[in-house]
Structure 1
Amino acid sequence: MRELTCPTILDAIRAAGLPPHGELILTGDGKLQRYRVEGDKAGSRNGWAVLHSQPMMAGAFGSWKTGETHTWCERTSNPPTAVERLELQRQMKAAQEARAAEQLNVQTAARERAGKLWALAHPATNAHPYLQRKQIGAYGIRQLRDMLVIAARDVHGDLHTLQFISADGSKRFLTGGRITGCYFAIGRPVDSLLLCEGLATASTLHQATGRAVAVAFNCGNLVAVAKALRYKFPALRLIVCADNDIQTKGNPGLTHARAAAQAVGGLLAVPRFTVVAA
């Protein structure tokens, strides 16, 4: 949780990169409000904010899509008293609890919608343009209209959300669904299990090695999925296959993959690229 110093909470929301699409009115009543973040699809309400007016203007906000949370407090010439600080702490705790409760409601609704859409979808075939372009098979995935549908489940097999991949390769998730710790599995592990970020990489690994592979969907979810898989398969050899993002600052693919391998005592596999000078 990061505190931002801005004149108003709306300024802080914009500074954090979560500006509302349209008007967002926060009256200071302490009630959590959901809103559509600028750039998100129509109908989504991934943003949330809560503002208290007493003992001073203070609040919190964030995004269920990115998982980030920020706090804000009005800066005045008079610092808060000890009693006011205690009240602010109580309010921030209440805001966290309200956020958690609302997030649970959002995720429950997404889980129910995911189940309905998954039931409507039919098994995908290798004829889908995305699969043909990537030269991979349709391993356990489904198709709804022209979109591939990939199930994200927890270690107990419960479906939480869906990823959709269009013919041109653009990807999106079902709004509000839980991603953390959820994955898509290809094959059944015998003595080892591979873990990577995306479907195309996972399918390619499975085709090349014949081994079971888990898809974490993004690098930020690698550690959570690795820990979940270690819990499910305590004796299995886990091999984290990194996306080597050599052209991205900080190489997030390799950084998160290394952290995931270290967290579960697993192995790390890193692709090497030959850089050709221009």
Structure 2
Amino acid sequence: MPKTTVQKIQQVAIAALNDAETLVAEWLPDGARQGSEWVARNTARDDQGKGSFGVSLASGKWNDFADPDAHGGDLVSLLSYLRSCRQVDAAMMIDQRLGLGIFHRNGEAQTSPPIAVTPTKSQLRQQAEAQRLAAQQKAAQLAKQLWLNGQPACPGHTYLVSKGISPYRLRQTPKGQLMVPLYADGELVNVQLIDAQGNKRFLKGGQVLGAYSPLGRVMPGKTLYVCEGWATGATIHAHTREPVACAMHAGNLEPVARGLCERYGHLEMVIAGDDDRATPGNPGRTAANAAALAVGALVLFPAWPKEAPHILTDFNDLACWYRQQGGHHE
């Protein structure tokens, strides 16, 4: 008996779980795995709540803690949400990506897909990994080119002035975008581009997981701070004069902390976490505590005065708020 469209969608959703991490990493490339979940920004909206979007790699269930209407029970509904398309279209995209043979291009069932041309799961994983590495290499080459052709960042750049921070060694493009360099194993692998309005993006396909932007030099006797965003790192560096590694988002704190410990050996490390007080589950605090526990580091969060707005989340927010009040803090 021919399967209905709903049954075929359900079949694709179940089959997709075998390659959940591969698929979700392609759809949400700036995310990272935390246990059995993939944690990322919600690319379907202007998501400033770092780590507020989570996908279960075991069940396919997904949820945006900052948007009560954004949730679903499987990977088909996730892709449908991210691409703003019908679930049947999302199912057909997954079917084609994994070579499942559940749909033809015209939506009809494929009764006997040719086994010889259907890639195995192992082959699909190898192809996805090869594509990921190729994209990272291409992005790294572009990052090096952009960095070489860039000019030292202007201290009067609107974003820097709004954050109350110095440019340090940042560069900027001819269009005025700030370039925050990301390094992995001592090599420039990516840049984060920031425009005057504070909109941020990484180079397409570029490495983020395990990469970081350094401020200052790691040296014996120095305390190394690991934080999320670059503005937060610049604030910490200005106030402590200690080296800082900016992991760029909550899900990258632990990979960066582990990598730095492996590279430099025993370090006096402090995880300077964001405090996402207005976000259910407080992903910033949760990720910072997990990273500190994983590497045996100390953990530090902003100390909020009672009158500080609840929407403030990080050390730069706190410094900016004090500056606006005309006050000083240590």
2:133 is the counterpart of 1:110: no
Which residue in 2 is equivalent to 1:148? 178
Partner SS state of residue 83, structure 2 = coil
Partner of 1:92: 121
In 1, Cα distance between equivalents of 2:166 and 2:305:
28
User: What does residue 262 of structure 2 align with?
Assistant: 231
CA contact (8 A) 2:12 2:94 kept: no
Aligned pairs (5 A) from 1:36-47: none
Instruction: State the shift of 1:125 in Å.
Output: 2.4
- 1:52 counterpart residue number: 100
Cα displacement string for residues 101-159 of structure 1 (whole angstroms, at most 9, x for unaligned residues): 111111111111111111111111211111111111111110112110011111x2111
Tell me what 1:63 maps to. Answer: none
Q: 5+ residue gaps in structure 1? A: 31-48, 59-73, 75-83
How do residues 77-226 of structure 1 correspond to structure 2 at under 5 angstroms? Answer: 91-144=120-173, 145-154=175-184, 156-190=185-219, 191=221, 192-226=223-257
Unaligned stretches of 5+ residues in structure 2: 1-7, 14-73, 104-108, 110-114, 311-330
Moved over 6 A (4+): 20-25
Equivalent residue letter for 1:254: R
Structure holding more helix per residue: 2
Alpha-carbon contact 1:110-1:176 (below 8 Å) kept: yes
CA-atom RMSD in angstroms: 3.1
1:26–1:51 contact (8 Å) kept in structure 2: no
Q: CA deviation at 1:96?
A: 1.3
Return the match for 1:15 from 65, 71, 78: 78
Give the TM-score taking structure 1 as reference length.
0.72
**Does the C-alpha gap of structure 1 residues 6 and 208 become closer, same or farther in structure 2, counting only changes over 3 Å?**
same
Q: Deviations over 1:152-196 (max 9, x none)?
A: 111x21111110111111111111101010001001133210010
SS at match of 1:52: coil
Deviations 1:235-274 (CA, angstroms, capped at 9, x unpaired): 2111000101111111111111111111111110111224
TM-score of the pair, normalised by structure 2: 0.61
1:21, 1:7 → 2: CA distance? 16
Query: Partners of 2:274 and 2:285 in 1: how far apart?
Result: 6
Q: Which has the higher contact order (CA 8 A, sep 6+)?
A: 2
Hey, what does 1:41 align to over in structure 2? none
Hey, what's the Cα distance between the residues in 2 that align with 1:270 and 1:27? 41
Residues 9 and 200 (structure 1), Cα distance of their counterparts in 2 relative to 1, 3 Å cut: same
The whole-number CA distance in structure 1 between the counterparts of 2:177 and 2:135 is 24
Q: Which has the higher strand share?
A: 1
How many pairs align? 224
Does the CA-based 8 Å contact 1:194-1:211 persist in structure 2? yes
For residue 233 of structure 1, report the CA deviation from its aligned partner.
Answer: 1.7
What is the CA–CA distance in structure 2 between the aligned matches of 1:21 and 1:196, rounded to whole Å?
Answer: 36
Whichever residue aligns with residue 140 of structure 1, its letter is R
Matches of 1:217 and 1:255 in 2, distance apart?
Answer: 16
Q: 1:141·1:150 contact (CA, 8 Å) conserved in 2?
A: yes
- Secondary structure of 1:151 counterpart: strand
**Is the contact made by 1:13 and 1:19 (CA closer than 8 Å) also made in structure 2?**
no
